[in-house]
Structure 1
Amino acid sequence: MESMMKKLFLMMLLLITALSAGCGKQGQLQNNIEKHAKDTVVLAAYRHLAPGNKDGLYCSRILYVWEPLITKDDNNRPTPCLAQSWEMRDGGKEWIFHLRRDVYFHNGTKFNADSVVANFDRMKKGYKRSSFYGLNMETYYPTLLKYEKVDEYTIRLLFKEANVNELYKMTDFGSPIYAPECFDEDGNFRSVAIGTGPYKITENALNKYVVLERNDNYWGEKGKIKKFIVRTIPNTDTRYAALKSGEIDGVLDINAIPPFLAAEIKKDSNFSVDKNKSTMIRYLSLNGNKFPFNDVRMRRAVSLAIDRKNLVHGMYLDYAEPTINILNYTSPGYKAIPVAYDLQEAKRLAHEVLGDKRCEITYCINGSEPLQKGEAELIAYWLQDIGLDVQIKSIEYATLSKMMRKGEFDIVRVQRGLANGDPFSALYTFVMPDGGINASNRLGYNNPEVVELMNRVKHITDEQERQSIFDRVQEIVAYEQPVIPLFNDMNIVAYNKRLKNYKPLIYGVDLSKVELAEEND
């Protein structure tokens, strides 16, 4: 075990050395930051954050271009945005939303009930795929019968069944609002996304960069920075080098900077590193439709054989939190469950399934994520103790997704974020027979008690009773492990000290609060 950890540490050390040497060619900062205009901040992400007209959302929420009716507070609970208040009636079958007044879209048109209805009309046209979270009426507004304008600043939603958790479903990606002029007849974008947010898109070069300019007519507190340029730099090494050289001021989005590079850049007095909880959970998806993972004992054996605390400490430098719970730790319904590591019990359970034989399995990873290979090698090292001989395959993500849908795998390393804080939706996709991940990842999970509990909690309005049911579901699933949760991620950001208030949220950074430090210091 110790030799394996030393090997992985040496790999990370060699990578850091190589990156440092590459950056040295450009010298130290040498005022490279002056390449930017004084009132412009340049950031970078691993993916393009404004995929454009073919994307159902056009751009990510973290660009602060569009706003939802309901957003989330620091505890991931629903809080007002474009809807400033609401009422639940008839046990959740009717919801009334009172809209914010004196709000205008970037093109100068007024935000009101008519524009909200137009956005619902658009959703009604059918599912809109997105690089972030798909826009789907059935997902965010299940059993919706009717949406209507009550007056200029009030709308009403009527449901066939009680939707007591509707506010959670509507947060952020569940209720994005755009100027109706954005949409063509099919509900696709005919132009750049026109929202109500503190920043607007003025240029979008796909897979290269997107330019954001401050919306000086914003209804709320206006942004401090006049212009952001958000570059797309997929390669981790290149992104790190750009930050060190001063080509960019900071990184954002998921996978912004890996922990070992965050630890390295933190040593440089020109930069700061900060972290927060993240909605992202990393887990192993096991093919529950075939041997040996169609046996709950084998799934439990795998879970018990993985030393998550050692994994998080050695591979991720404690920039993560070990977990055996499939519900992310930012969800208001989350129950803390002790992380179990018991190799002897894992061996006993595996022997009950395998006998004295060994089993060869394929462990697939996403080749574009730099730490997955080392993580897989460590986990494979542990799994050999329970009779599993692991072959690691690095595969491009699109191919990997197709393999999973076809069931052509044994183990796949996967990740999942929370579109909203709703514990019901987050659990449903894993544990219900028709749940999206249960089906697409071939989990084969079906527990009658869990199904009964999930069907019952849908209609319960008492928060304490709802939480009790969610707790029970989490306990069952933590024992049966339809997937093997590894750790809850952290949102890590690194940035030049030229910036101030560059603080990570549970998703992204609040760009409207970012300032230039020298203006105030």
Structure 2
Amino acid sequence: MKKKFGYLHMALPHGGAIFVVSERLNFMTRLRDTEEKEELMKQNWKKLSGVLLGAVLAAGLLAGCGGTADTSASGSQPSGGSPATSSISAPAGSASSAAVSSSGQETAEVKNETEEIVLGSVRDMIPGEGDAFYVNLSAQVWEPLVINNNHALEPGLAESWEFNDDCTEWTFHLAENAVFTDGVKFDADVCIQNIERYKTGPLTSTYTSLSIDKSFPNLKEIVKVDDYTVKFVFNEPITTLDALLGDYGSPMISPNCFDPQTGEITSQVVGTGRYMIEEHVQDQYAVFVRNDNYWGDNPGKVKRYRVNCIPDSETRYSALVSGEIMGLMDNGAIMVDAAAKLAESDDRFEIEPTKSHMTHYLYVNGSKEYLGDVKLRQAISCAIDRDQLNETLYQGLCYPAYSALSNQTPLYKEIQGTYDLDRAKELADEVLQGQRLQATLIIGQRVVDGYPAKAMAEYMQSALSEIGIDISIELLDNEVTTERLKSGDYDFCINVTGLNSADPYSTLYSWMDSEGSYNVDYHWNYSNTEVDKLLASVLNEKDADKRAEIYGRLQEISAEELPVIPILYYVNVNIHNKEITGYTSELFDGVSIPTLEWAANR
């Protein structure tokens, strides 16, 4: 039975085909609702921008963020090197920019081949050899078998796939003309070598973990059918394999890059993608050059691009204003108010808020006295006024969160919660019996640099004091934060994370199963027999409606028992200089590199 590309699932036996139609309609309804919210979001953005512009003009601070950088139309040159762009064009509407000539387009095409585009990011695009993936997927260096295009599953290095009636055998037909940039041909043997690498895991990463159990649960054997066909045989039915393999679930890299015994990456990663790594200085910058022998469609437009790693938010802002970088990428690269001020006060820049899969969460150490009591976790959730946080920190652009899954997940179930301080006090008193709980809330520097997490922590410090919890806040280096989480040396932690798969199984398993990685490693101490049974059955469930019901039930339980406390669904804010174009936003990776190019003279 052939797989139908596009949405999460296919026509299955026993009435599954009906689900394709009905669930598509449900999905389109959710999408339409999201689009309506986005339109409102844009209106709010314009309103916010106007208010902020008035404040900026009144204060005479055209540079924003209290900086002194020149934001005039002529721009300024960064010291110590050449700028990321040539001199800034005259504003739109002036005589010199009234029309775009063919020579202007030719100039842009020449620049695409001769001048690199420089972007700025919160983190290094290349974590390096200790990382399961080595380089961010959005860099376009390596490619997966299946592409998760905003939850629509599309062919990657696998051109098509099919499965048998009971979903215990999946057959993947591989691209026959894909070549790694070191000359190694991609075929069934190389595909199998990569998947054997997953068996050495779980391999860790700053993005998500990689393991055979996560990508190929209950795998029995791998069969090479021919040079470009691979069959996966499972001990149990699996109905969502293609979703599990999307993006970070099936990275394919040259076998010359990793140790087959340990799975560890041993050299600079070589992929089949649109770009190759040309130069990298750890935690400073990465340069990528176009693969002019790319096997697929739509090779990159710009010959070379650079991503500077700029962890500090003020430094990122200054680099953008000065022309050192042409745009910001990655989640949390700029604060909402700073972006609004800049876009409204300086017409060199444009901005548009877009939906995101990222969510703000409050982690709770359930192994600590009192915090393992579900009533106290419920009290904490009731004491947090998410609407106030949204209005105060994000000007109403985000969404209050009550479900464990991102609201951009196809199987997300909308759950309405409430802010109820009286109920929160009542629940907390049942647990604390009039005592006050002394607690520590930790935040990693990455989260502080990318989001108003410190202000959120201070709000929680005030809100939870109302129910008998006295919080001290600690801002920590990222490595120290991870160590504290794994050692259990914390009470609360504010984090921002997202769902990188079209199927929510791996996320819900790691958070809710008694043996889930987050649950165990971060000492959440959550256990529910019903949850364990539901998670054990969902991947084997062939009926798509029943599978959706299971995921819905898991979200209901999570909202009730709160192994992790959702706070806000985030919205991406991407901003760039108008000297570049094709700076389109993506749900998972922020910015689309293949469409990026220099703009014609404006």
Q: Please, what TM-score do these two structures have when normalized by structure 1?
A: 0.91
- Residue 321 of structure 2, aligned match among 240, 244, 268: 244
The DSSP-based 3-state class of the residue aligned with 2:585 is: coil
User: 1:154 aligns to what?
Assistant: 229
Kindly provide the CA deviation profile for residues 90-144 of structure 1, in whole angstroms up to 9, marking residues without a partner as x.
5232110011222222234322212212212333344433232232222212222
Q: 2:556 aligned with 1:475, yes or no? A: yes
User: 1:504 aligns to what?
Assistant: 585
CA 416–473 in structure 1, closer or farther in 2 if over 3 Å, else same: same
User: 2:171 aligns to what?
Assistant: 96
User: 2:192 aligns to what?
Assistant: 117
Q: Please, what TM-score do these two structures have when normalized by structure 2?
A: 0.80
- Residue 38 of structure 1, aligned match among 102, 111, 114: 111
Q: How many Å separate the matches in 2 of 1:409 and 1:190?
A: 35
Please provide the CA RMSD for this pair. Answer: 2.5
User: 2:337 aligns to what?
Assistant: 260
**Which stretch shifts more, 274-283 or 496-505?**
274-283
Q: How many Å separate the matches in 2 of 1:181 and 1:406?
A: 36
Q: 2:311 aligned with 1:234, yes or no? A: yes
- TM-aligned CA deviation for residue 160 of structure 1: 1.8
User: 1:488 aligns to what?
Assistant: 569
Q: How many Å separate the matches in 1 of 2:87 and 2:219?
A: 52
User: 2:495 aligns to what?
Assistant: 414
The DSSP-based 3-state class of the residue aligned with 2:299 is: coil
Q: How many Å separate the matches in 1 of 2:493 and 2:266?
A: 38
CA 402–190 in structure 1, closer or farther in 2 if over 3 Å, else same: closer
Contact 2:64 2:338 (C-alpha < 8 Å) held by counterparts: no
**Which stretch shifts more, 329-338 or 242-251?**
329-338
**Which stretch shifts more, 24-33 or 369-378?**
24-33
Kindly provide the CA deviation profile for residues 404-443 of structure 1, in whole angstroms up to 9, marking residues without a partner as x.
2222222111232223122121111111110111112211
Q: 2:508 aligned with 1:433, yes or no? A: no
User: 2:38 aligns to what?
Assistant: none
User: 1:325 aligns to what?
Assistant: 403
Return the letter of the residue paired with 2:164.
R
Q: How many Å separate the matches in 2 of 1:25 and 1:250?
A: 15
Q: How many Å separate the matches in 1 of 2:268 and 2:510?
A: 32
% of aligned pairs identical?
Answer: 35
- TM-aligned CA deviation for residue 489 of structure 1: 2.0
User: 1:401 aligns to what?
Assistant: 482
Q: How many Å separate the matches in 1 of 2:470 and 2:433?
A: 15
Q: How many Å separate the matches in 2 of 1:454 and 1:326?
A: 15
Q: How many Å separate the matches in 2 of 1:427 and 1:86?
A: 26
**Which stretch shifts more, 510-519 or 479-488?**
510-519
User: 2:33 aligns to what?
Assistant: none
Contact 2:63 2:71 (C-alpha < 8 Å) held by counterparts: no
The DSSP-based 3-state class of the residue aligned with 1:22 is: coil
Q: How many Å separate the matches in 1 of 2:567 and 2:301?
A: 39
Q: How many Å separate the matches in 1 of 2:247 and 2:583?
A: 21
Return the letter of the residue paired with 1:78.
L
- Residue 301 of structure 2, aligned match among 224, 230, 234: 224
Q: 2:69 aligned with 1:23, yes or no? A: yes
- TM-aligned CA deviation for residue 252 of structure 1: 0.9
Report how many residues are paired: 509
- TM-aligned CA deviation for residue 360 of structure 1: 2.1
CA 399–191 in structure 1, closer or farther in 2 if over 3 Å, else same: closer
CA 250–299 in structure 1, closer or farther in 2 if over 3 Å, else same: same
Q: Can you give the 5+ residue segments of structure 2 that lack an aligned partner in the other structure?
A: 1-51, 78-82, 89-109
CA 495–18 in structure 1, closer or farther in 2 if over 3 Å, else same: closer
User: 2:277 aligns to what?
Assistant: 201
The DSSP-based 3-state class of the residue aligned with 2:134 is: coil
User: 1:176 aligns to what?
Assistant: 251
- TM-aligned CA deviation for residue 210 of structure 1: 1.2
Return the letter of the residue paired with 2:497.
R
- TM-aligned CA deviation for residue 296 of structure 1: 1.2
Contact 1:77 1:168 (C-alpha < 8 Å) held by counterparts: no
